[in-house]
Amino acid sequence: MSARLCLLRLQCLRHFVHTSRKIQFPVHIKMPSLSPTMSEGSIVNWVKNEGEDVAAGDVLCEVQTDKAVIAFESDEEGVLAKILAPTGSSNIKVGSLIAVLATPDEHWQEVAASAASLSQPSTADSIPKQSGINRTIQEPQSYRLCSMGPAVRLLLQSHDIDGSQIISTGPHGQLLKGDVLAYIANNEIKPVVSSQEKSINDIPAIQTVSSAANLTDITSSNMRNSFAQRLSESKLSIPHEYIRATARIDRLNELITELKVNSDINFSINDFIVKACALGLRVSLFFCLVSNTLIYGSQTKADQLSNM
C-alpha cells in the first residue's frame, strides 16, 4: 500500500513539474539611458528589421543621445517582432517602448499583431501641460524673505504673487527664479500693469517691417539642445553676480602660442581665467567662505566650494 502511495505521489510531482514550467512573454524594448545626462533620444537607424533573429549582444539600432550616436545592443535573444519607433523618430523619452522582441518559443507574427495595439513612445511634445502645482512632490515650505534674489522679488511684485504659495526647490528651501516662472506658467498669471506702464502703452508704437519671411527654421541636434538646457538651468537655479576687470594679456597670448608650438597643447584664454579665479579663491579664505554662505534667519550655513 505504501509503495502504491509513493508511486502516486511521484506521478503527481512529475505532472506538476511538467505543467508549471516557466511561461515566456515577449520582451519589451525601451529607450535606454546611454549617458548620465540623457533624458530623451532619437532613433538614427534600425540595424535589425522586423522578423530578423536577434542574439544577445547584437546591435538593434543606433540612438542619438545628447552627446553622440551610440549603438544600442540587445540583452535578450529572440526575433524582432514589432518596431514601434521607426527610423527618424526624435525626442523619445527614456523608458518609452520602442520595440517588441519575441522569444524563441513564440511566433513573431502573432506577437507583432498583438503589439500593434501598444501605445507609441512618448515624446517631449506629447506630454500634456501640467495644470496647477504638483502636490505629490512636497508641500510648500515656509517662505523666507531673506532667501529671495532680486529677480525673484521682481517677478513676485510684477505678478502680485505671494511667495508662500510656491514650492521652493533651491538649496535649503531657497525660492528660485525657475520656481516662480514655473508657477506663473502653470497658473497662466498675467503681469500687473501699473499706472506708469499704462501711460507708456498709450503712446503709439512705430510700425516696423517684419523680417520673419526671411528666416529659416533649422532643426537643432540633441547635443545642442542639451547645452542650451544646461546653460538655462545654471542661469535660473544658481545665484550669480557679475564682476568686471581689465587685464593686459600680451604675455598670456605669448605663453599660449609657445605651449602650442613646443608641446602641442591647446589652451584657451578661458582656461587661464578659470585657473586664476580658482587660485584667487584659494588664497582669499575669507572671500571663499563669504561667497559660499547662505543666511537663514539667525543661522548661517557655509558649504564647501566644489565647482568653479
Kindly state the percentage of the chain with pLDDT values over 70: 66
Distances 76 to 79, 80, 100, 306 between C-alpha atoms, Å: 10, 11, 11, 42
- Which CATH number fits the domain that encloses residue 63? 2.40.50.100
Q: Of 59, 94, 118, which marks where a domain is finished?
A: 118
The rounded distance, in Å, linking the Cα atoms of 177 and 237 is 7
Residues 111 and 59 in one domain: yes
Which of 95, 78, 83, 99 has its CA nearest to residue 24?
78
Average pLDDT, the chain: 75
Question: At 38, is the pLDDT very low, low, confident or very high (cuts 50, 70, 90)?
Answer: confident
Is residue 226 in a domain? Answer: no
Q: Are 276 and 308 in contact (CB under 8 A)?
A: no
Residues 54 and 111 in one domain: yes
Is residue 288 in a domain? Answer: yes
Q: How many domains does the chain have?
A: 3
Which of 93, 63, 61, 65 has its CA nearest to residue 74?
61
- Whether the per-residue pLDDT at 294 is higher than 80: the answer is no
Is residue 64 in a domain? Answer: yes
| Residue with more model confidence, 17 or 210 | 210
Q: Of 118, 134, 166, which marks where a domain is finished?
A: 118
- Which CATH number fits the domain that encloses residue 164? 4.10.320
Question: At 131, is the pLDDT very low, low, confident or very high (cuts 50, 70, 90)?
Answer: very low
The rounded distance, in Å, linking the Cα atoms of 165 and 162 is 6
Q: Once rounded to an integer, what is the mean pLDDT over residues 79-98? A: 89
Residue 177: domain span: 150-187
- Cβ burial of 60 (10 Å; 0-12, 13-18, 19+) is buried
Q: Are 1 and 70 in contact (CB under 8 A)?
A: no
Position 46 scores a pLDDT of 93
- Condensed to tens digits (0 to 9), the pLDDT of residues 255-264 reads 999 988 888 7
Residues 114 and 165 in one domain: no
Is residue 59 in a domain? Answer: yes
- Whether the per-residue pLDDT at 277 is higher than 50: the answer is yes
